[in-house]
Amino acid sequence: MQGDESTRRPTRGVTPELALARLQLRQICLLAVFDMLPGLQHAGVAREHAVALAAGRAVFDRHGMRPEGGLEGPARRFLRYYYVAPNTGLAGPFFDGDCQPIWDAALIAAMESIRTGRPAQIEYHARLWRHVLEEDRRWAAVRAYALDQALLSFPPSAPRVAIDRYRHRVGALLTTAESVPALLAAWAIDRNPRRLDDLARPELKDKHGLLEHRHMARFLGMTPNALTQSLKRLRRRLGEEMRVLWDIEKTDPTSEDPET
């Protein structure tokens, strides 16, 4: 994976980017992307940006911090650590290992949140979800899911033809079920063992950008509980397919032909 070292969070103490979490999320976004805003919008939020600057400097003064280069750097690192880093699991299956689209989505979401007034998380999750739904990216994730050894429990005696046949069947099933986008996104994100690092801090409540089941459920027009049950049914169906295929492999004299 093309990892971005700047998404690796510090592990000790209060850092400048964590100190900024005491500001309103909109203020953090203003500090991060103010210089990227179009001219008219730039002028329209200049006063608000000045207030955010003053609030950020007051926070740093309380912690005795003097970050070099102003507040834009810590604000952007806030987005990297608490928006990009929790979702980097998406990079492998959906973006061929490249974290840049996830970072681009965070910056664009910050700018859009300033324009629309909607929370940055909503803008960010909507952009990630659109990526998840793109046909080429989804197919790439389906293939990666079907190849994930951690998900599959093949008998030691299973021939290669049988394994390939099952993976083909998994791919076919994942083109139809309604909850497949959430299954793929949740699986991809959960592959990142550090996705929850630091997110339980009280300063980050309702401010971090981890794409969770409840957000996916909203995009699918489902309740979180309905999505959870749908994912359980889908995983159970995949397990049943595996058992059926093994029974066929044991008895089917044509099993050596993967096309039959």
Could you tell me which residue, 14 or 195, shows the higher pLDDT?
195
The top-scoring range by mean pLDDT among 4-8, 140-144, 215-219 is 215-219
CB 26 within 8 A of CB 120: yes
Give the pLDDT score at 195. 93
What's phi and psi for 156, nearest 5 deg? Answer: -55, -30
Place 20 in a pLDDT band, splitting at 50, 70 and 90. very high
| Torsional class of 223: left (φ above 0), alpha (ψ -120 to 50), beta (otherwise) | beta
In a domain, 259, yes or no: no
Give the pLDDT score at 8. 54
pLDDT of 81 above 90: yes
In a domain, 71, yes or no: yes
Give the pLDDT score at 249. 57
95-112 residue pLDDT tens: 999 999 999 999 999 999
Neighbours of 8 (CB within 10 A): 13
Place 41 in a pLDDT band, splitting at 50, 70 and 90. confident
E-only strand ranges, 148-223: none
Range of the domain at 234: 5-251
206-256 residue pLDDT tens: 899 999 999 999 999 999 999 999 988 888 887 777 777 666 555 554 444
Residues of the chain by 3-state class (helix, strand, coil), percent to 5: 70, 0, 30
Handedness of CA 93, 97, 99, 104 (dihedral sign): negative
- Number of structural domains the chain divides into: 1
Query: Who contacts 260 (Cβ-Cβ below 8 Å, separation ≥6)?
Result: 252, 254
In a domain, 258, yes or no: no
Angle between helices 224-251 and 160-173 (to 10 degrees): 150
CA-CA-CA-CA torsion for 228, 218, 90, 11, nearest 10 degrees? -90
pLDDT of 92 above 60: yes
In a domain, 41, yes or no: yes
In a domain, 242, yes or no: yes
